[in-house]
């Protein structure tokens, strides 16, 4: 992902001004700064929770516009929140697996009928969640 010149204003407050970052696939990054520095606003912009006032955004070399959260997630960008809510009746592994289900192709009917395609996808999701 490449972000260049990202900006976001809330009334008279400039929360982001000309922010840029290059993120390589498969790498882990941290964003550190004091309270009020714009860290959360930046995440909210690139994940589609806030509409940016300016900037260019690309994913895998393809330009994209942060928009509806579900569309951004389909593009491969997702986030967690500091005050996460887990499914209490599920195991830790199952909670992790929930995040991968946006990538499945078998759909609701496949899940209900537990088709071979669904079972294969579920096994792949479980293997990935265990990594």
Longest dimension (CA), the chain: 55
pLDDT value at position 101? 76
pLDDT value at position 73? 76
The domains found in the chain, sorted by start residue, are 2-74 (3.40.50.300), 92-129 (no CATH)
Helix (H) / strand (E) containing 70: helix 69-74
Is residue 1 within 8 Å of residue 59, measured between CB atoms?
yes
pLDDT value at position 30? 85
Measured CA angle at 83 (ends 80, 84), to 5 deg: 55
Strands 54-59 and 13-22: unpaired
pLDDT tens digit at each of 131 positions of the chain: 899 999 999 999 999 999 999 988 878 888 899 999 999 999 899 888 899 999 999 888 888 877 777 777 777 777 776 667 788 899 988 988 887 777 788 888 998 999 999 999 999 999 988 88
């Amino acid at each position: 992902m490449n972000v260049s010149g990202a900006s976001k204003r809330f009334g008279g407050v400039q929360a982001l001004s000309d922010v840029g970052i290059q993120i390589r696939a498969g790498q882990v990054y941290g964003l550190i700064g004091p309270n009020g520095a714009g860290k959360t606003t930046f995440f909210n912009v690139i994940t589609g929770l806030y509409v940016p006032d300016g900037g260019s955004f690309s994913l895998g070399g393809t330009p994209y516009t942060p928009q509806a959260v579900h569309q951004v997630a389909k593009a491969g960008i997702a986030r967690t929140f500091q005050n996460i809510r887990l499914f209490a009746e599920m195991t830790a592994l199952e909670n992790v697996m929930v995040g991968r289900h946006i990538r499945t192709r078998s759909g609701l009917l496949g899940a209900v009928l537990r088709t071979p395609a669904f079972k294969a996808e579920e096994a792949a999701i479980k293997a990935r969640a265990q990594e």
